[in-house]
Amino acid sequence: MKDTPLSNCERQFLLKAVEEKKRVDGRQTYDYRNIKITFGTEYGCCIVDLGKTRILAQVSCELVPPKDSRPTEGILFFNLELSPMASPAFELGRQSELLVKLNRQLERCLRNSKCIDTESLCVISGEKVWQIRVDVHVLNHDGNLMDAASIAAIAALSHFRRPEVAIQGRDITVFTPEERDPIPLSIYHMPICVSFAFFQQGTYLLVDPCEREERVMDGLLVIAMNKHREICSIQSSGGIMLLKEQVLRCSKIASVKVSEITELINKALDNDKRARKEGGKFGFAESMPKERITALKKDEAPVEMTDVQDTANEIISRTEAQPDIVKVPSPVVPAPGTGQVGEGLLNTWGLEEEEDEEEEQHEKEEMSTGEVMVLSDSEEDDVVILNPDANKPKRLEGGSKKGVEAPKKQKTSH
């Protein structure tokens, strides 16, 4: 499927609006869209809505042998996927440039910044460590995938709890969540990406570009920062040239935004923890808005079962098998290891011209002789089944046009 291309007048409209410091959705230049974070029932599942962009992140863990170069550290694995749902341009199985770029940026932001303590993931040094796998799915693409993906990933990692293990010598017992409470990962800091879109060779900038703005921008600057004002990674793409003051200005804006977003994530985590402790309902089912006109919810309801038994019995009795077809056709065994049943359509490997009854009689006669059996007398084909023990090759059907008297030697299925 192809994405609809951007028309020239739309492009000019957007660029003109940027020059006048106006945005299509009414935001200011430094405003972020509304961020909504919801967690699921299982630990480590998180959906982030950045305006209309929606991203799902899931964290899972597994015990694996560690890498040879780092026997005492756990493994972090990131996988970002652009679901075909997100945009008609995303196709399944295609490694597009955007996908590679987002994956690399996410890895740099979360793995190289060492925000997660991998040493604590080691169980038995050199033999078994935890592998933490983060799968990020992009569900709706309305711009600024990088920011939303980083928020989703770090929120999911903070929400995740891994099972507790007990080590006795070389044996490892993994406890289920019912036996012992799972423990959270140790996270040092939360790096969050902030994206800046540049227009007109760096003259104008916008924070958190939406999809239309991303299409007409000249270049993108992504700064990953945590709330302690430490820069974790900077990436500039698009080939625009920026001045030192511009980059410093962006980093100042980024630090303000990052502290706001980090507070939002922590608040969401606290709400979720409180809901779980008090036994209230949590998860995606609860977070569905009830007051919207497009949403509807129905409570648990029993299914009416008044005459189900009778209906079922009636159907069975009505369609009882006819008793006169009790006799099951008996199979024919022309040779040890081969059998045939049924008189329906015979196969076309040999062009049979004789009647079926003749063949069957032949088979019954020759069953006891053992060595060579001719299944059909037709001139066209030469159906021969040889005794497998005599180590002669088997040949099921011939196809020769001329009549053949002696069996031809041919290798069969191997």
Partner 1 sequence: MEVELCPILRSFGSEQNVLSRPDGSASFVQGDTSVLAGVYGPAEVKVSKEIYDRATLEVVIQPKVGLPSVRERAREQCIRETCEAALLSTLHPRSSLTLILQVVHDDGSLLACYLNAACMALIDAGLPMSSLFCGITCAINTEGQIITDPSVQQEKESRALLTFAIDSVERKVMMSSTKGSFSVKELQQCIAVSQKASEEIFQFYRDSVKRRYSKIM
Partner 2 sequence: MAAGFKTAEPLEYHRSFLKENCRPDGRELGEFRATTLNIGSINTADGSALVKIGNTTVICGIKAELAAPTVDAPESGYIVPNVDLPPLCSSRFRPGPPGEKAQAASQFVADVIESSDVIQKKDLCIEKGKLCWVLYCDIMCLDYDGNLLDACIIALLAALKNAQLPEVTINKETDLAEVDFQKKNRLKINRHPTASSFSVFDDSVIIVDPTAEEEGLSTALMTVVTDEEDRLCMLHKPGGSSLSGEKLQDCINRAVMRNREVSKLIDKVMESVKAKK
Question: Do the Cβ atoms of 212 and 143 come closer than 8 Å?
Answer: yes
Residue 160 burial by Cβ neighbours in a 10 Å radius (0-12, 13-18, 19+): buried
278 is a site residue for partner 1 (CB under 8 A)? no
By rule CB under 8 A, what string of x and - marks binding of each residue 129-148 to partner 1? Answer: ----x-x-x-xxxx------
Question: Residue from 335, 373, 383, 384 that binds partner 2 (CB under 8 A)?
Answer: 335
341 touches which of partner 2, partner 1, none (CB within 5 to 8 A by kind)?
partner 2
Q: Segment near partner 2 (CB under 8 A), from 44-52, 69-77, 223-231, 319-327? A: 319-327
Q: Compose the 34-53 pattern: x for residues touching partner 1 by CB under 8 A, - for all others.
A: ------xxx--x-x----x-
Closest separation in Å from C-beta 155 to partner 1: 15
List all residues 6 or more positions away from 238 whose beta carbon is below 8 Å from its beta carbon: 198, 217, 218, 219, 220
Dist. CA 109–CA 151, nearest whole Å:
11
CA-nearest of 220, 108, 119, 97 to 153 is: 108
The answer to the question of residue 182 lying near partner 1 (CB under 8 A) is: no
Measured from the CB atom, the residue of 324 and 405 that comes closer to partner 2 is: 324
- Using CB under 8 A as the binding rule, whether residue 1 contacts partner 1 is answered as yes
Determine the 3-state secondary structure of 407 from DSSP: coil
Q: Which helix (H) or strand (E) holds 361?
A: helix 356-366
- Footprint of partner 2 on residues 345-374 (CB under 8 A)? 345-349
Among 7, 69, 309, 330, binds partner 2 (CB under 8 A): 330
Q: Which class for 42: exposed (0-12), middle (13-18), buried (19 or more C-beta within 10 A)?
A: middle
Segment interacting with partner 1, rule: CB under 8 A, options 186-194, 247-255, 310-318, 368-376: 310-318
Distance between CA atoms of residues 373 and 366, nearest Å:
6
Interaction of residue 321 with partner 1, rule CB under 8 A: no
Widest distance between CA atoms in the chain: 101
Least separation in angstroms between CB 40 and partner 2: 23
Taking CB under 8 A as the binding criterion, the range among 32-40, 220-228, 256-264, 343-351 that sits at the site for partner 2 is 343-351
**Site membership for partner 1, residue 381 (CB under 8 A):** no
Q: Is 303 in the site for partner 2 (CB under 8 A)?
A: no
Residue 283, both tokens: 């998860």
Q: Is 318 in the site for partner 1 (CB under 8 A)?
A: no
Q: Does 414 bind partner 2 (CB under 8 A)?
A: yes
Question: Is residue 92 involved in binding partner 2 (CB under 8 A)?
Answer: no
β-bridge mates for residue 63, sequence order: 130
β-bridge pairing 53-64 and 75-82:
unpaired
Q: Pull the structure tokens for residue 233.
A: 């990674």
For residue 360, give both structure tokens. Answer: 């069957």
302 binds, among partner 1, partner 2, none (CB under 5 to 8 A by kind): partner 1
Using CB distances below 5 to 8 A depending on partner kind, what does residue 36 bind out of partner 2, partner 1, none? Answer: none
Let me know: does 141 contact 211? Beta carbons within 8 Å.
yes
User: What CA–CA distance (Å, rounded) separates 79 from 138?
Assistant: 11
Binding site for partner 2 (CB under 8 A): 63, 311-312, 315-316, 318-321, 325, 328-331, 333, 335-349, 388-389, 394, 396, 412-414
